[in-house]
Amino acid sequence: MAVWSEVKVSALGAGLRCDPEYYQPRYLAVARRLDGTRPQRLGALALVTDGIHAAPDVVEEGGVRYLSAKCVKDNVFALGDALRISGSQHSANPRTSLRENDVLITTVGTIGNAAVVQPDILPANADRHLGILRLNKDAPVDPYYLATFLNCKYGRFQSLREATGNVQLNLFIEKIRELRVPLLDCASAVARQTRSAYAKRREAADAVGAAESRLMQALGLDHLELAPSKCYTRRFRDLVLGGRFGAEYYMPAKKRVLDELRSRPHKTVGEYAFAARQMWSPAQAAGTDKVRNFDLTDALEAYLDDAKEPTIAAEVGSIKKCLQAGDVVISRLRSYLREIAVVRASPNLPCVGSSEFIVLRPRSGRLSAETLMVFLRCPVVQTVLKWSQDGSNHPRFTEEDLLAIPLPDRVQEAQAEVNRFSRLAFAANRESANLLQQASRAVEDSIEAFADRRKS
């Protein structure tokens, strides 16, 4: 059935947008509801700019965190993909140097994701694919309210509607300044809820960190030297036995870890869990079926749960791995990112994940999924995985390397405490997600109630 809108030339506005998508009936309906709240231009509330336009001066060690659009999600940061730039480039760009309470918004890729800069990620800078919103001192809104509004459907629809481009959509700075922000009665309550959600996420990260520390102490490996060596030698027979000729594979730090793990009574990871390899194709599902599709970056959080919005199965573009509750997923790409998580999503919808995940399914009664996850996230195991990678552009470690890692029996001694910390982390993550959903829903309900009152 055909769908169209008729719009007067006088309604095109200063931008003279003539593309028909801009005037879709659903866009016009949402815009009318938003207009009823008498919103203010974002450019009147905040300084709006973007990040560094020059190429990043990337450094391997030290430096300053450099955020891109991949690093900003819906009121959360995924810092694993952040590069590091030189201190000199950071100092030369004070305009783009991030400050606490700045609101960042993505302008390419998934357009419209917004999050509030936290003190623990500073110092940091941003690239040109992030909009930086710095509220005026006298602005009548809170940055946490602003971020939640931008992430809700009334903020997101504006970001998508105002984006332009052919090959790749972009949300340009002048368009961000024109985004409209309502000053709602619920704004203070929404800001408090959003702040609490950020605090809960920090609690979750602290709990996982405490579990890792406790496990390292139980293994007696908390003081092991893990720094890489600049030069070292190996015998040719070591290369033959290892079946690899890359120098990194024989890094002394990796050998120290493996020697320490093997010196204790142990089994291997493969004796505690097996690799689940069942694959899922979009062709298997009906067009209206939904799935939870987890990407590698989702596993930067310790748990994959129902906070992930379902996706129409037909829109999933490639073959995925089947996941089930209790699985441990490990990204075999870029091991240093620690993309390792336990699947805790409810079974009411199928769960699938990237084909680059190795999916471990714990053998019954031997080791909890949470303890296995924490063990694999520990710095000592990360050292092994990092120096087991092969390849240049997209280095990977193999499933065999992962399953062969020694897992000392003493891990079980700390299992009860690790599980306790893990439960705290999961509960805090779940509460954070619930708070964000409630805050977003409060904004949307308030706008819709306002529109209904005007109609009556």
**CA-to-CA dists, residue 216 to 165, 340, 341, 421, angstroms:** 51, 17, 18, 14
Burial class (CB in 10 A: 0-12, 13-18, 19+), 9: exposed
The pLDDT tens digits along the chain (456 residues) read: 446 656 565 555 555 566 666 666 777 777 888 888 888 999 999 999 999 999 999 987 789 999 999 889 889 888 877 889 999 999 999 999 999 999 999 999 889 999 999 999 999 999 999 999 999 999 999 999 999 999 999 999 899 888 887 778 889 999 999 999 999 999 999 999 999 999 999 999 899 889 988 888 888 887 888 888 888 888 888 787 777 888 888 888 888 888 888 988 999 999 999 999 999 888 877 767 888 999 888 888 888 888 788 888 888 878 999 999 999 999 988 766 788 999 988 888 889 999 999 999 999 778 899 999 999 998 889 888 888 888 767 788 889 999 999 999 888 888 888 889 988 998 998 899 899 999 999 999 998 887 667 665
Which pairing describes strands 357-362 and 273-276: parallel, antiparallel, or unpaired?
antiparallel
pLDDT in tens, 20-67: 666 667 777 778 888 888 889 999 999 999 999 999 999 877 899 999
pLDDT, position 87 = 93
- The count of C-alpha atoms lying within 13 angstroms of the C-alpha of 392, restricted to the half-sphere facing its C-beta, is 0
pLDDT, position 67 = 94
Distance, in Å, from the CA atom of 300 to the CA atom of 304, rounded to the nearest integer, reads 9
Query: 194: phi > 0 → left, psi -120 to 50 → alpha, else beta; which?
Result: alpha
Does the predicted TM-score (pTM) go above 0.85? Answer: no
For the packed helices 153-162 and 415-455, what is the interaxial angle rounded to 10 degrees? 80
Nearby residues of 223 by Cβ (< 8 Å), 6 or more positions away:
none
Which segments of 281-429 are extended strands (E)?
290-294, 303-304, 311-312, 320-323, 328-331, 340-343, 351-353, 357-362, 406-408
Distance, in Å, from the CA atom of 143 to the CA atom of 149, rounded to the nearest integer, reads 10
Give me the numbers of helices (H) and strands (E) for the chain, helices first please. 14, 21
pLDDT in tens, 244-270: 888 888 888 888 888 888 988 999 999
pLDDT, position 2 = 47
